[in-house]
Chains A and B, each alone.
Chain A
Amino acid sequence: MATTATLTLASTDIAGDPVSVSKVATLTKAGTLNDLDQSIGLNRVHLRSTTEKVLLAANAEGNNLAAKVYMINKSEDASLYITVKINAQTTGKLYGGDFMFIPWSQTDTSASIKVAATNWTSSTGDIPVEYALFHEDTDFLTNA
């Protein structure tokens, strides 16, 4: 039972020579070689509000355990973005087509992952967001 994540970065012209980076990671439990064995699967939500929403609610039992979060803004409009926060800290903006893959330390129950369709208006249309969580704890809760 394994989950692998692969990231490839490639450019022929951002530097004088072509750049190509490829990385494969097998997702494991914290500090071990044992595979992560739980997942909430792939989810899809449509954001239609500038109001901040909790996408993944932190569970204090997850502190010091391994969890990985994948998220993508599936909007085809490059100008539409979602703001991603952990607790009150903004980490970045996912513009249309952008994705992220991060480890997630649920240091406490405040460390939830929150999103907001910050520049959404009624005329822009919904912003589809897909996400997945792979984790190891046995009592994970999410409000998604």
Chain B
Amino acid sequence: MATTNATIGFSSDVTDSSLSVSNSTQLNTAGTTTGVNTMTSVTKVLASTNQVDLITAGSVSTTHAYVYINNPSVDETKYFAVTIGNAGAGSPTDTEEIGRLYAGDFMWMPWDVDDDICVTPSSSDDMTVEYMVFS
């Protein structure tokens, strides 16, 4: 067992009274206080607008994982559409779009490892995507 901590913070002055939130948690296996012990960290450069099966359910042996995906681009017009669904299809179809990661955006979410996580670049120019999986 390893100890891995995740901390998130927000600072917003969108509302008249500013909002500040901070929370930390230890990344544990499903329903326990035992820390996750496996980490994958990948950087890929994609050069087409084809959907890519980025993180396959078959690549993780547990039923609970944490996923971090980052779009490090500095071009605000370039994004990845992130979808989930259709495990193991290789060339996924009929997936649910979670959202779009614009330049500089990241996402962090638990993953039930039932379905693949895919990305579709908005441009055929080289676009770098980074991801980590903890399980």
Contact = CB atoms under 8 A, between A and B. Distances in A.
Interface of A: 1-15, 19, 21, 23, 25-28, 30-33, 36-39, 41-42, 66-68, 70, 72, 78-79, 81, 83-84, 86-95, 97-105, 107, 111, 132, 134
Interface of B: 2-15, 19, 21, 23, 25-26, 28, 30-33, 35-39, 64-66, 68, 70, 76-77, 79, 81-82, 84-85, 95-102, 104-112, 114-115, 132, 134
A92 B14 contact: no
A37 B129 CA distance: 27
Contact of B6 (A8, A81, A90, A93): A8
B41 to A, nearest CB: 8
Contacts of B107: 101-103
B40 to A, nearest CB: 11
Given A12-B3, A23-B106, A42 B14 contact: no
Given A8-B8, A79-B32, A101-B108, 11 more contacts: A2-B12, A3-B14, A11-B39, A39-B12, A42-B19, A66-B102, A86-B84, A91-B112, A103-B107, A104-B99, A105-B81
Nearest to A97: B25
28 contacts: A3-B11, A4-B10, A9-B4, A9-B6, A11-B3, A23-B70, A25-B106, A31-B102, A38-B14, A39-B15, A39-B19, A41-B19, A68-B99, A79-B31, A87-B96, A88-B96, A89-B95, A89-B96, A92-B110, A93-B30, A93-B112, A95-B64, A98-B110, A99-B8, A99-B25, A100-B109, A101-B107, A105-B97
Given A21-B68, A89-B96, A100-B108, A132 B10 contact: yes
Contacts of A9: 4-6, 68, 132, 134
Nearest to A100: B109
Contacts of A90: 112, 114-115
Contacts of A6: 7-10
B21 A37 contact: no
Contacts of B32: 78-79
Contact of A78 (B28, B65, B106): B28
